[in-house]
């Protein structure tokens, strides 16, 4: 978010970040990482609870962890009304700054520096682009593959469902193992009746943005292993059929290829994050970690013992699983 802050500013969007960290920690963090937007200290998780997103999977006995939220983002308009929320089924999935900006502005932007390729012909122009974080790939960070159709006057493309024999617009994105896509996101359709064929269709016209969010799983990019390669190749297949207000044109296929840069993750400068081949943060959070543990544990000293015991049990379980896997 730090690098993207100028983009937020350019669009007049304010950025706020809330965590349960103490003010001193946030001050050190902001200084070391050059963070220009407000880092807010919700030390007793009051606002996190007010919003109803306290991580209820963490118990009061989980020592320093209690009080964290399920991570997520709210985007509001000028009046303060929520226009989008971003929460995921894994805490590792994060949205790129560009997605938040798009949500705030209610449109899909393709940055000038986003990798892109063109296809189609005079009346149907197709642009494929990879949007978000300069298209770099990291574990869990969502990027967007955007396929933009610029359709000439009176031309339409179809959405599912279509009558038999006709082709709905499809975008397939594929890459190496661990490259994972989410369902295609499409704008609202309009109804069109082709009188000559007696069929009703759901269509898009003019400029149509079809978005396929994607991210890397552990096989491709991991927080606990160095990168296998500096780049990956992905392929985009677009299949569609266009029509005028009277008749269908022939189905068409376009293919695009991109080479995307793999990026290591910035990890906090703490023992258990180090040595995995990732980029260690400049901010040495060891003193902050000590403060955090003390702050949480003094309220519940017995919790620390339970937490340590839980850690030992979990660790033994993990070692047993690793041993079983190695013996197979």
Partner 1 sequence: MTTERDQAGFDAPAPLGHPARASMPKGHPTGPGVGEQLPDFELPDANGQPVRLHEHRAGARAALIFYRSAVW
Where in 265-294 is the site for partner 1 (CB under 8 A)? Answer: 268, 270, 272-273, 276, 283, 285, 288-289, 292
* 68 or 234: CB nearest partner 1: 68
> Which residues 154-173 are close enough to bind partner 1 by CB under 8 A?
none
> Which residues 180-209 are close enough to bind partner 1 by CB under 8 A?
180
Beta bridge partners of 117: 128
Size of the chain in residues = 328
- Under DSSP, the state recorded for 135 is G
Stretch that binds partner 1, among 34-42, 108-116, 121-129, 227-235 (CB under 8 A): 34-42
Under the criterion CB under 8 A, does residue 146 sit at the interface with partner 1? no
Least distance CB 105 / partner 1 (angstroms)? 8
What is the residue-wise DSSP string for 140-169? TEEEEEEEEEEEPTT-EEE-S---TT----
Under the criterion CB under 8 A, does residue 55 sit at the interface with partner 1? yes
End-to-end Cα, the chain, rounded Å: 43
Backbone angles phi, psi at 63, to 5 degrees: 45, -120
Least distance CB 215 / partner 1 (angstroms)? 9
Task: Measure the CA dihedral 73/103/90/302, to 10°.
Answer: 0
Cα separation, 103 vs 86, in Å, equals 10
Cα separation, 205 vs 152, in Å, equals 8
Exposure b/e, 254-280, CB count within 10 A at least 16 = b: bebebebebbbbbbbbeeebeeeebeb
Of residues 221, 136, 145, the one with CA closest to residue 178: 221
Under the criterion CB under 8 A, does residue 2 sit at the interface with partner 1? no
Under the criterion CB under 8 A, does residue 297 sit at the interface with partner 1? no
- Residue of the chain from 2, 111, 123, 139 that contacts partner 1 (CB under 8 A): 139
Rounded alpha-carbon distances, angstroms, from residue 170 to 207, 210, 212, 292: 16, 9, 10, 49
* 58 or 162: CB nearest partner 1: 58
Stretch that binds partner 1, among 58-66, 146-154, 163-171, 181-189 (CB under 8 A): 58-66
Least distance CB 80 / partner 1 (angstroms)? 5
- Residue of the chain from 14, 193, 261, 282 that contacts partner 1 (CB under 8 A): 14
- Residue of the chain from 193, 237, 261, 319 that contacts partner 1 (CB under 8 A): 319
> Which residues 99-118 are close enough to bind partner 1 by CB under 8 A?
100, 104-105
Strands 170-174 and 231-240: antiparallel
Cα separation, 266 vs 318, in Å, equals 25
Stretch that binds partner 1, among 46-54, 117-125, 168-176, 231-239 (CB under 8 A): 46-54
Under the criterion CB under 8 A, does residue 306 sit at the interface with partner 1? no
Least distance CB 259 / partner 1 (angstroms)? 23
> Which residues 215-254 are close enough to bind partner 1 by CB under 8 A?
217-219, 222-225
* 17 or 305: CB nearest partner 1: 17
Question: How many chain residues bind partner 1 (CB under 8 A)?
Answer: 98
Token pair in block for residue 279: 């980029």
Are the C-beta atoms of residues 234 and 286 closer than 8 Å to each other? no
Beta bridge partners of 201: 192
* 115 or 268: CB nearest partner 1: 268
Least distance CB 299 / partner 1 (angstroms)? 17
């Amino acid at each position: 978010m730090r690098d993207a802050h100028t983009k937020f500013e350019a669009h007049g969007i304010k950025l706020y970040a809330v965590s349960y960290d103490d003010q001193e920690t946030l001050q050190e963090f902001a200084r070391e990482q050059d963070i220009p937007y407000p880092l807010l200290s919700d030390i007793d998780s009051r606002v996190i609870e007010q919003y109803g997103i306290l991580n209820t999977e963490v118990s009061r006995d989980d020592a320093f962890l209690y009080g964290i939220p399920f991570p997520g983002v709210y985007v509001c308009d000028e009046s303060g009304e929520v226009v989008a929320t971003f929460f995921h089924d894994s805490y590792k999935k994060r949205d790129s700054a560009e997605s938040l900006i798009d949500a705030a502005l209610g449109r899909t932007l393709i940055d000038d520096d986003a990798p892109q390729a063109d296809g189609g012909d005079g009346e149907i122009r197709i642009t494929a682009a990879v949007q978000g974080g300069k298209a770099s790939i990291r574990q869990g960070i969502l990027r967007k593959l955007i396929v933009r159709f610029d359709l000439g006057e009176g031309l339409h493309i179809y959405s599912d469902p279509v009558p038999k024999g006709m082709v709905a617009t499809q975008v397939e994105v594929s890459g190496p193992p661990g490259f994972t896509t989410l369902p295609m996101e499409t704008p609202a359709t309009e109804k069109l009746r082709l009188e000559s064929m007696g069929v009703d269709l759901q269509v898009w016209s003019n400029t149509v943005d079809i978005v396929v969010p994607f991210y890397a799983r552990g096989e491709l990019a991991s927080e606990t292993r160095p990168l296998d390669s500096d780049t990956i190749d992905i392929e985009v297949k677009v299949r569609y059929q266009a029509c005028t207000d009277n008749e269908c044109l022939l189905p068409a296929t376009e293919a695009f290829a991109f080479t995307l840069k793999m990026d290591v993750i910035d990890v906090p400068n703490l023992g258990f994050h180090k040595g995995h081949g990732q980029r260690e943060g400049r901010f040495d959070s060891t003193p902050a970690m000590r403060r955090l543990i003390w702050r949480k544990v003094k309220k519940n000293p017995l919790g620390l013992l339970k937490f340590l015991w839980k850690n030992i049990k979990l660790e033994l379980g993990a070692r047993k699983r690793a041993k079983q896997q190695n013996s197979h």
